[in-house]
Amino acid sequence: MALYRALIELADDHLVLGHRLSEWCGHAPMLEEDLALSNFALDLIGTARSLYAYAAEVEGKGRSEDDLAYLRSEREYLNCLLVERLNGDFAHTMLREFYFAAFMEPFWQAALASTDKVIAGIAGKAVKEMAYHLRHAGEWIVRLGDGTEESAARMQAAVVDLHPYWEELFSGGDCDVLPDRAAIRPAWEASVKAVFAEANLDWPAPVYGQNGGRDGMHSEVLGRMLSDMQYLQRAHPGATW
Amino acid sequence: MGDVTPLWEVFIRPRNGLAHKHVGSLHAADEALALSAARDVYTRREEGTSIWVVRSEAIAASDPARASENFDPAADKIYRHPTFYMIPDDVGHM
């Protein structure tokens, strides 16, 4: 079950972050970014689908990817707390995306060599998408951090707000066919360091990290998101279209 | 937003060997973000293999009011079309 659990953690990360990004649809400050964020959301939800489908197969109890996404409660969700954070302003959204992509890109890169063909297949598609998310979010962080007085202050505020959450990315159930998450940390730190230097952002002093997401202990914002996301399946069980 | 995010024209090359073709325009702060936005707005359905962006203000355009003096004189000069050459059979389709 180590594989099932690890797949669910990753799938939940992707679905929750994808849903968060989809909340920008129709609300982004410009059409170009509205499309970019919707593209990102679709990339993430697409990967989540592949991961759920494989998790359901590994579990072998006849559940579908939809069952896993729409019929599990908040405490059964194993995503890290970072991805459920509210969108906030563009600085918060881009930093959250950047932290996640800076983890997932090297993770999928390592997963390309997995002995599990399904995982290597998912990695092959996702690694390209994550490389782009990483670059796009990084470009925004540089421009906001090294931009106007207002944008720099907001960018630094986002760094402080999300500081308790990034470390949880490296925790979670590992298994022999998925890369060791803790081993991704040097690559993650190198990405963050490079962008922060260019963006003139300060890395805050260490704080007590928030975690618990991998054990299903979430902040209150996830419940609200799930009540939105799961409404249709809860109100009309088994509905299809 | 005009000052911070000027207008850019986007050109996409659909396949190797073809020329970049104008596909539309977008607003972006600089080259890198314009390329990024072009990728997200205009290549969602595998439209291309290469993107060019250029600031719209860098393009000099012909005056529509002068269309008749610019283009009409070519109308009756059929000899400018290379249609009077005999093409050897070996060349096949050209």
pLDDT band at B77, cuts 50/70/90? confident
Identify the CATH number of the domain in which residue B35 sits: 3.10.20.520
Residue B79 pLDDT: 81
Within a domain: residue B70?
Answer: no
Cβ–Cβ below 8 Å for B41 and A30? no
Residue B83 pLDDT: 77
pLDDT band at B2, cuts 50/70/90? low
Residue B81 pLDDT: 81
Place of tokens 């939105």: A228
- Residues on chain B bordering chain A, Cβ-to-Cβ distance under 8 angstroms: 1, 5, 26-30, 32-33, 36-37, 39-41, 44
Within a domain: residue B2?
Answer: yes
Within a domain: residue B86?
Answer: no
Sheet holding B50-55, edge to edge: B21-27, B7-13, B50-55
Q: Which two tokens stand for residue A57?
A: 């197969």
Say how many domains are in chain B: 1
Within a domain: residue B87?
Answer: no
Q: Closest Cα of chain B to A32: distance in Å?
A: 6
Within a domain: residue B8?
Answer: yes
Cβ–Cβ below 8 Å for B41 and A31? yes
**Across B4-11, average pLDDT:** 94
**Across B77-83, average pLDDT:** 81
Angle of helix A31-59 relative to helix A90-111, nearest 10 degrees? 40
- HEC assignment per residue over A181-221: HHHHHHHHHHHHHHHHHHHCCCCCCCCCCCCCHHHCCCCHH
Which uninterrupted H or E stretch holds B7?
strand B7-13
Within a domain: residue B51?
Answer: yes
Place of tokens 């914002």: A221
Q: Sign of the CA dihedral A148, B54, B11, B49? A: negative
d(CA B70, CA B64): 9
pLDDT at B1 over 70: no
- HEC assignment per residue over chain A: CHHHHHHHHHHHHHHHHHHHHHCCCCCCCCHHHHHHHHHHHHHHHHHHHHHHHHHHHHHCCCCCHHHHHHCCCHHHCCCCHHHHCCCCCHHHHHHHHHHHHHHHHHHHHHHCCCCCHHHHHHHHHHHHHHHHHHHHHHHHHHHHHCCCHHHHHHHHHHHHHHCCCHHHHHCCCCCCCCCCHHHHHHHHHHHHHHHHHHHCCCCCCCCCCCCCHHHCCCCHHHHHHHHHHCHHHHHCCCCCC
Residue A61 pLDDT: 96
Chain B interface, best mutation among A32, A97, A140, A151, by max B CB count within 10 A:
A32
d(CA A102, CA A135): 9
Domain span holding position B53: 1-60
- Per-residue pLDDT tens, chain A, 241 aa: give them: 899 999 999 999 999 999 999 999 999 988 999 999 999 999 999 999 999 999 999 999 999 999 999 999 999 999 999 999 999 999 999 999 999 999 999 999 999 999 999 999 999 999 999 999 999 999 999 999 999 999 999 999 999 999 999 999 999 877 899 999 999 999 999 999 999 999 999 999 999 999 999 999 999 999 999 999 999 999 999 888 7
Superfamily of domain A2-235: Ferritin, core subunit, four-helix bundle (1.20.1260.10)
Within a domain: residue B45?
Answer: yes
d(CA B27, CA B56): 10
d(CA A41, CA A47): 10
**What separation in angstroms does the CA of A21 have from each of A38, A129, B8?**
7, 15, 26
pTM: 0.90
**What separation in angstroms does the CA of A40 have from each of A48, A136, A147?**
12, 10, 24
Task: Find out whether A101 and A135 touch, Cβ atoms under 8 Å.
Answer: no
pLDDT band at B94, cuts 50/70/90? low
Residue of A nearest to B7 (CA): A32
Nearest to B37 among A29, A32, A143 (CB): A32
pLDDT band at B72, cuts 50/70/90? confident
